[in-house]
Amino acid sequence: MFLRGFCLILGIFAGVFPALAEQLTGDIEVHDPSTIVKCDDRYWTFATGQGLESLWSTNLIEWHRGERVFDRAPAWTVDSIPGNRGFFWAPDIVKLTNGFHLYYTVSTWGSPVSAIGLATNPTLDPQNPAFKWTDRGVVIKSAKEDNFNAIDPSAMQDRNGRLWMAFGSFWSGIKLIELDAVTGLRIQPESPIHSLAWKEQIEASFLSQRGEYYYLFVNWGLCCRGTNSTYNIRVGRSREVTGPYFDESGQDLMNGGGTLFLKTKGAMIGPGHAAFVVKEGREFVSFHYYDGNRLGAKTLGLLPLTWTDVGWPRSGF
């Protein structure tokens, strides 16, 4: 079944990339999409849902639903997070030398008692005999007494092969830890937790490296309110993955900084959960938004990504 709800907002770049210049609409919803990764001839993304949803496409236009990652919630998720029954949030996926690592949130609404879990798979092709999701357990947890919330993971392997994960929401903002590039788990149980960005309403970070900079995208505002959602995407950059991150005006993201990257426009309401994907050498930014033409339906979006001469990203919208 096609995910025609992958609305591409598209007439604005028909001349730039004709293959993606058709606007598609439909009734399949997707929320908190992960980074889009490629396995063989298919693109994959994962999303919030019971057991985690998966979707695939061969062209980034026509999308199909895949199998859920978990038929049954790992036992630790039920034991560790009271009230959670296998409805997992805001996953992210990264391809490493030993396969795909999928990070996901285990929590309940409005609670700092949360955990980020990890599942791995050597392939994303369900027809491959090696296909099997394996639960690897907890990456990091937060409790009531902690000043951070272990949700919304974003994993990135840098050019030196080191693996990092940004995460966090509200409380004291966006955090960063280093992961083991082989196991995908936290590099040490008590390894440093770095603070990257803070605002009263901040979450859904995305970390990327380009040129001499690391780029941190975050969401300001509130999600999950349909057409009343106030999400907007902000960005800063740093020469060190651990920060500090500054916006275009030089404001530190720990002190309210954040250059506006993508906001509500027309029927595209509350864009959030940015990530990058490359197709045939062209860069795009993926995200979700609430479709004002479909009663606020949660919809996957894709826009061309460009860069200024001094290295700041632009969404093309």
Rounded distance between C-alpha atoms, residue 308 and residue 92, angstroms: 27
Owner of token pair 């980074």 = 35
CA distances from 247 to 216, 261, 297 (A): 10, 11, 31
> Hey, what domains does the chain have and what are their CATH numbers?
11-314 (2.115.10.20)
Which one of 32, 53, 178, 247 is the catalytic residue? Answer: 32
Tell me, what's the pLDDT at 290? Answer: 95
Q: Which amino acid is at 285?
A: V
Question: Model-level pTM greater than 0.85?
Answer: yes
Rounded distance between C-alpha atoms, residue 209 and residue 192, angstroms: 21
Tell me, what's the pLDDT at 28? Answer: 61
Six-digit token pair at 268?
A: 């595209």
203 is catalytic: yes
Left (φ > 0), alpha (ψ -120 to 50) or beta: where does 49 sit? left
Rounded distance between C-alpha atoms, residue 203 and residue 174, angstroms: 7
Which one of 53, 92, 178, 203 is the catalytic residue? Answer: 203
Tens-level pLDDT at each residue, the chain (317 residues): 434 444 444 333 333 333 433 333 344 679 999 999 999 999 999 999 999 999 999 999 889 999 999 999 999 999 889 889 999 999 999 999 999 999 999 999 888 999 999 999 999 999 999 999 999 999 999 999 999 999 999 999 999 999 999 999 988 999 999 999 999 999 999 999 999 999 999 999 999 999 999 999 999 999 999 999 999 999 999 999 999 999 999 999 999 999 999 999 999 999 999 999 999 999 999 999 999 999 999 999 999 999 999 999 999 76
Q: Are 265 and 231 in contact (CB under 8 A)?
A: no
- CA 158, 162, 163 angle in degrees (round to 5)? 85
Owner of token pair 């849902």 = 49
Tell me, what's the pLDDT at 217? Answer: 98
Tell me, what's the pLDDT at 80? Answer: 87
Which strand ranges, in their side-by-side order, compose the sheet holding 163-167? 154-157, 163-167, 174-179, 194-197
